[in-house]
Amino acid sequence: MIANSLSTLPAFLAYFVGALALTAAFLWVYMKVTPWDEFRLIGAGNAAAAISLAGAVIGFVMPLASVIAHAAGWLDMIVWGLIALLVQVLVYVVARVVVPGLALGIETGKVPLATALATGSLAVGLLNAACITW
């Protein structure tokens, strides 16, 4: 009985490791696109940096979770995970254009700006996740 339950362990591990790798790739790309060092700012107690990064990560992981649940296979997860990565980076780029003082605001700890960015990231992530349910 336990062997039957564990028969899907290899697939679980493949999807889980793939999802962790995509999340790490997202963090790397996102932190290259933003002009500030999120981890340094968070380490220094900057709540705005923590809020904006949390929104971006959750906004990325929501569609990734959706694609895992609906994927035709592991490669499908990778392709749609990369699309989710690009969508979240675009959310930041658009937000930066629409709100010119965004970068400085987050660096200087402006929580309302970070909350707005996080909200945009989450909203687009949720829409993205819904669109991946085909």
From CA 97, how far away is CA 117, in angstroms rounded? 12
Give me the phi and psi of 17, to 5 degrees please: -65, -40
Confidence of residue 6 (pLDDT cuts 50, 70, 90): confident
Mean pLDDT confidence for 79-108: 96
Structure tokens at 132: 């991946």
- pLDDT per residue over 15-69, tens digit each? 999 999 999 999 999 999 999 999 999 999 999 999 999 999 999 999 999 999 9
Confidence of residue 7 (pLDDT cuts 50, 70, 90): confident
What is the per-residue DSSP string for 104-117?
A: HHHHTT-HHHHHHH
What's the DSSP call for residue 73? Answer: S
pTM of the model: 0.92
Confidence of residue 134 (pLDDT cuts 50, 70, 90): low
Per the CB < 8 A criterion, the answer to whether 57 and 26 are in contact is yes
Where along the chain do its domains lie? 2-131
Choose among 93, 107, 133, 101: nearest CA to 48: 107
Residue partners of 106: CB distance under 8 A and separation at least 6: 36, 41, 46, 48, 49, 52, 113, 114, 117
From CA 116, how far away is CA 106, in angstroms rounded? 11
Neighbours of 120 (CB within 10 A): 21
pLDDT at 124 over 90: yes
Residue predicted with more confidence, 2 or 87: 87
Per the CB < 8 A criterion, the answer to whether 52 and 118 are in contact is yes
